[in-house]
Structure 1
Amino acid sequence: MSEKHLKNELRRQALAVRDAMSAEERIEASLQVDAIGASEIAVEPGMIVSGFWPIRSEVDIRPLMFSLREKGARLCLPAVVDRTKIVFRELVRGVPMVDTGFGTAGPGPDAQILDPDLMLVPLAAFDRAGHRIGYGAGHYDRAIARLHEKGIEPHLIGVAFDVQEVERVPNQGHDVALAAILTERGLRAMPETGDE
């Protein structure tokens, strides 16, 4: 099986397990993610943190984002532009939310574009080495590559439910390893190299 087909199968399996969680399980786990993240993720006043509005059965990190705002973070959310590119628009209190692509919502095109210092990254599956499988479009990989081209090295924290862990994610050259994974069981730092 090719790496692409293996990734597709791992994505399908991990999302099926996530989808099988009851609404109550997802709510409880999301609240635990908020409590752990709010306690263990260090932010400095003015630090730019990108999050995401949950889609389908994703972990709901909105409480965590607002906890980080209380610690002084500036928040932003991804918006898909030109079908292939993510920009990060500032999320401020009271801003109207619009469709920002890929089934999610965020601030409209008038919002300020920010470059995140810390990214809370959605994912379909992850492994113990910090490799992730996204939803298949490559939006985050390209967004992170663009930040690297600008000399910005955001701290990458994948956020998921613990049931989304798989034994091994095939790692391709363009894939960027996460610095940490946050689930309802804790914040786990990943190996420095991202390889096992």
Structure 2
Amino acid sequence: MPELAHGHTVAAYVSVGSEPGTLALLDALRARGVRVLLPALLPDNDLDWGEYTGPGSLVQVAHDGRMTLSEPSGARLGPHAVTDADVVLLPGLAVDARGMRLGRGGGSYDRVLARLERAGARPLLVVLLYDTEVVARVPAEAHDRPVHAVVTPSGVRRFPAA
């Protein structure tokens, strides 16, 4: 995506479980001089952010027996750091033809999207999924916001209504 190649700051994440792998992408972005921000899960499920400076800048963090995540080991930049991003890569379980994303249910990225909206930030919102995770319709609530694109192994699909 040209937006990734020309972005100055990309907020991303380190994939877990069966999610499409992100580490090679994070390293490719850094090699192009892009500043990469990664989330750190807070006790209330909100996200703080730190800078990714390479594989050595990650630490494994266990969160109350729920999950173990790779998070940035450096200084925390605060929950609002994401508002500086040109592109925000979001994890998901599925996305539908409207660009509505189904997350894991913790609300972390719903808070991120609301924070971006309140700040007047307009980054490109992209979900990384497998082809089978692009579906006809996912449940959506009033607070849910569509993403701009989904990237799958077969290509990029943009959602102009977002």
Provide TM-score, normalisation by structure 2. Answer: 0.84
Residues 85-105 of structure 1, C-alpha deviations (whole Å, 9 max, x = no match): 112211113324241744311
What's the counterpart of residue 153 of structure 1?
122
The sequence identity of aligned pairs, in percent, is: 29
What's the counterpart of residue 72 of structure 2?
107
- Cα drift, residue 163 of structure 1: 1.1
Secondary structure, aligned partner of 1:178: coil
What's the counterpart of residue 93 of structure 2?
124
Which protein has the bigger helix share? Answer: 1
1:137–1:56 CA distance, 2 compared to 1 (3 A): same
Q: In 2, are the aligned partners of 1:99 and 1:106 still within 8 Å (CA)? A: yes
1:74–1:171 CA distance, 2 compared to 1 (3 A): same
Q: In 2, are the aligned partners of 1:127 and 1:165 still within 8 Å (CA)? A: yes
Residues 121-161 of structure 1, C-alpha deviations (whole Å, 9 max, x = no match): 11001112211100011110111211222222221001011
Q: In 2, are the aligned partners of 1:43 and 1:72 still within 8 Å (CA)? A: no
| 112-121 vs 153-162, which moves further | 112-121
Secondary structure, aligned partner of 2:26: helix
Determine which structure has more spread, i.e. the larger CA radius of gyration.
1
Q: In 1, are the aligned partners of 2:40 and 2:50 still within 8 Å (CA)? A: yes
Alignment of 1:35-74 (within 5 A): 40-44=2-6, 47-74=8-35
Residues 35-86 of structure 1, C-alpha deviations (whole Å, 9 max, x = no match): xx5xx444336x1111111111110011112212222210111111123211
Paired letter, 1:105? S
What's the counterpart of residue 76 of structure 1?
37
- Cα drift, residue 168 of structure 1: 0.7
Q: In 2, are the aligned partners of 1:100 and 1:108 still within 8 Å (CA)? A: no
Provide TM-score, normalisation by structure 1. Answer: 0.71
Secondary structure, aligned partner of 1:43: helix
d(CA) in 2 for partners of 1:182, 1:163: 12
Superposed structure 1 runs of 4+ greater than 6 Å apart:
none
**Which consecutive unaligned segments of at least 5 residues does structure 1 have?**
1-36
d(CA) in 2 for partners of 1:68, 1:41: 11
Q: In 1, are the aligned partners of 2:150 and 2:157 still within 8 Å (CA)? A: yes
Q: 1:97 aligned to 59, 63, 66, which one?
A: 59
Q: In 1, are the aligned partners of 2:48 and 2:76 still within 8 Å (CA)? A: no
